[in-house]
């Protein structure tokens, strides 16, 4: 199957942008939670719409989308580019991705992201993984420099 991958950018017309976000991205984001992430986090889906939209409208949040040959959205990868506080680098922090279990679609999303972050000036990619998730294979241009552990604590 061939996929069209592109970055979902907010339109200058806020109504068009919200329609794009609602029509293209939101159903997949919900599906990823219901199908995969709810069992990992043990929480119901409750998107922080205000913060998400604000980050996207200011282009601080990047959404890469995959569409199938019929134009149906089938995958996404979202992340945030930033500069670490302690050293000089430009990081693309991958926050989440989903391809409905389609490994080819997932690989295409990561391949597109790799190219795009070079144009953003990023020289590092950070990925947080759940216990059952495996790191995606990035191209040979990227090498694993180190691993850190993210621990999630709750008081509920």
| pLDDT, tens only, 113-135 | 999 999 999 999 999 887 777 77
Give the pLDDT confidence score for residue 147 in this predicted structure: 82
Percent of the chain at pLDDT exceeding 90? 65
pLDDT at 105 exceeding the cut of 90: yes
Q: Note the pLDDT tens digit of each residue in 39-85.
A: 888 899 998 988 998 999 999 999 999 999 999 999 999 999 999 99
3-state helix, strand, coil in the chain (%, to 5): 35, 20, 45
CB 11 within 8 A of CB 20: yes
Best CA proximity match to 24, nearest among 6, 42, 40, 1: 6
Q: What average pLDDT does the structure give for the chain?
A: 91
Pairing of strands 91-98, 124-127: parallel
pLDDT at residue 86 above 90? yes
Sheet strand arrangement including 124-127: 4-7, 62-67, 73-82, 91-98, 124-127
Tokens of 51: 């913060």
Q: What is the pLDDT of residue 135?
A: 78
Contact 78, 63 (CB under 8 A): yes
- pLDDT for the residue numbered 9: 94
Which of the pair, 131 or 32, is modelled with greater confidence?
Answer: 32
pLDDT at 156 over 90: no
3-state secondary structure of 94: strand
Contact 4, 62 (CB under 8 A): no
pLDDT of res. 110: 95
């Amino acid at each position: 199957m061939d996929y069209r991958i592109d970055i979902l950018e907010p339109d200058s017309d806020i109504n068009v942008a919200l329609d794009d976000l609602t029509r293209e991205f939101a159903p997949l984001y919900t599906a990823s939670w219901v199908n995969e992430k709810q069992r990992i986090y043990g929480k119901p889906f409750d998107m922080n719409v205000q913060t998400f939209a604000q980050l996207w409208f200011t282009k601080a949040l990047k959404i890469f989308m995959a569409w199938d040959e019929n134009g149906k959205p089938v995958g996404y990868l979202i992340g945030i580019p930033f500069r670490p506080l302690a050293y000089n680098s430009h990081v693309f922090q991958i926050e989440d991705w989903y391809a409905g279990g389609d490994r080819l679609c997932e690989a295409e999303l990561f391949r597109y992201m790799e190219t795009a972050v070079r144009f953003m000036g990023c020289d590092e990619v950070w990925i947080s993984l759940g216990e059952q998730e495996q790191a995606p294979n990035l191209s040979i241009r990227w090498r694993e420099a180190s691993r850190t552990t993210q621990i999630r604590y709750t008081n509920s």
